[in-house]
Structure 1
């Protein structure tokens, strides 16, 4: 059957028509990406997507949302949209709502090795038994895990991206102090996310006594990735260090046998992460350093992983 697959993040809403058969996602159609800032509500974005398809959409939807999926109203964490569960169920014959990184967990079950780029640790496939931590910076920081046990797979959604940031050197101490003045409580998402790079850059500029040439994270990311600004590159290097620390902490606390990196920022770092300080910080866990170095870490390179995951969650919920 066909379903409308939706991946709602803080910055973009992605839509596509997915086809499900025999419990698997066999096809995802062309993706439409709509900027959430251009639409007052989810309904208006949905209607725009419908108009692009001649006004006719399947009466089933699989929606991944970047927030906890609880209650009758769902408020996205990094976007002002609010989804009414009652209204959605009234308008649709079948509906699945899943946390965005819960959706990534479902997608990991379906992805082949060709869409998993090796980052560090032993270069072997993801384990068929055990727990796989799933971590992904985008507009925020998503965290989930996939537990494989005795032929069954269980996806567990979390809000691990909102755990406290723990600095590991004097530069990060300074960073925490600056951010605490702005936010009071500083979560890891304030740094390990697309917007988080700007806070890192501003701290380094303050320490160096250098002018702040970038006022927004979009232009900063461009300069960091193309190497056109020294301080922007230094900020990205520090981002990779902090990301490694956070990813290692999550894997350690979840008891992971492997780690999968997802998210839009992860894709941006596909050619850089393995050659950065990520691996050193990931494994620097004191008495557990040797154990951490034995964890395979992979990066998802599939561009539509959220849509695949939403449709896969739909297939599981409805027994298709």
Structure 2
């Protein structure tokens, strides 16, 4: 058995958990400790707080998922101010082995490894995830995470992390045009993450308020999400419906771009939308791809309901980098 620390660092929270790799390859996670990234100056100081919380020194191995591009010695996070120097993590954290991966690359590992009962249907055919082909993984949270993985002959898979959340936002109707116009007034370039991520609901809400000639309330995204999900504010509900439409469009675009056999929705907001997405306009927008509408209707779209896919997937990535035989020899 190998014990390690799993870390999932997002734009808002950093989650830590002790994890164990069993001799049979199973991954066991303890309950996570969640720390606000804005409450700590760096990963090192947050790591020290995690050790204080668990009351002992952490294991000397770690699997770290980060919301940002992982393609060199320095990782600058997309939605907070932490900077990680991957070559110095052993000295800073007192570890011998570490895997560092993009956070949605980690989620893709989780999707590839999770049991069938960890998924629910959003739209498309009722079937388990395919055993061959490419699976796209898309998740709205503080930002918009995008990754995909390819099933390989013999049962393996290969994960490709991306920064797909930063492709251009493509409006589909008059209201989308108004959302784009509002965002373009403040940003040189408008990416899909400006709309299809947690803070994006503010832009949708304010656009709808202007459309209806209402005096716009200065509400933060948490308040709008709460009102929408509680259905206590009709304009917030309309903004949430529009969010689901846009998420469907984006998910369909990535299915086309990746040549996907299936699509999986993940992320903190994805899980909160578990009951709403199947009955929203998501499926219509997902299929609405012109001459490829029939093909899109045949692609299964699922939602992963694993409580900690980022942590689970980070450990799966570590397991891939350090096979069990190597772990036993270390």
- Count of matched residue positions in the alignment of Structure 1 and Structure 2: 320
Residue aligning to 1:183: 187
TM-score by length of 1: 0.98
Runs of 5+ consecutive residues of structure 2 not aligned to the other structure? 325-330
> Per-residue CA shift, 1:141-180, capped at 9, x if unaligned?
0111010121221111111110000001111111101101
Runs of 5+ consecutive residues of structure 1 not aligned to the other structure? none
Alignment of 1:1-320 (within 5 A): 1-22=2-23, 24-90=25-91, 91-151=94-154, 152-320=156-324
**In structure 2, how many angstroms separate the alpha carbons of the residues matched to 1:145 and 1:184?**
28
Q: Bigger shift: 291-300 or 150-159? A: 150-159
Residue 213 of structure 1 and its aligned partner are, at CA, apart by: 2.9
Residue 110 of structure 1 and its aligned partner are, at CA, apart by: 1.8
Q: Secondary structure at the match of 2:186?
A: helix
Residues 295/144 of structure 1: CA separation in 2 closer, same or farther (3 Å cut): same
> Per-residue CA shift, 1:18-47, capped at 9, x if unaligned?
101347343100111111111121111111
Q: Say if 1:11 and 1:79, in contact at 8 Å, map to a contact too.
A: yes
**In structure 2, how many angstroms separate the alpha carbons of the residues matched to 1:214 and 1:241?**
24
Q: Secondary structure at the match of 2:135?
A: strand
> Per-residue CA shift, 1:94-152, capped at 9, x if unaligned?
00001111101111122111110111000100000100011000000011101012122
**In structure 1, how many angstroms separate the alpha carbons of the residues matched to 2:190 and 2:79?**
16
Q: Bigger shift: 81-90 or 189-198? A: 81-90
Q: Secondary structure at the match of 1:127?
A: coil
Q: Say if 1:24 and 1:312, in contact at 8 Å, map to a contact too.
A: no
Q: Secondary structure at the match of 1:156?
A: strand
**In structure 2, how many angstroms separate the alpha carbons of the residues matched to 1:105 and 1:164?**
23
**In structure 2, how many angstroms separate the alpha carbons of the residues matched to 1:85 and 1:125?**
37
Residue 214 of structure 1 and its aligned partner are, at CA, apart by: 4.5
Q: Say if 1:19 and 1:28, in contact at 8 Å, map to a contact too.
A: yes
**In structure 1, how many angstroms separate the alpha carbons of the residues matched to 2:26 and 2:67?**
21
Q: Bigger shift: 105-114 or 282-291? A: 105-114
TM-score by length of 2: 0.95
Residues 23/179 of structure 1: CA separation in 2 closer, same or farther (3 Å cut): farther
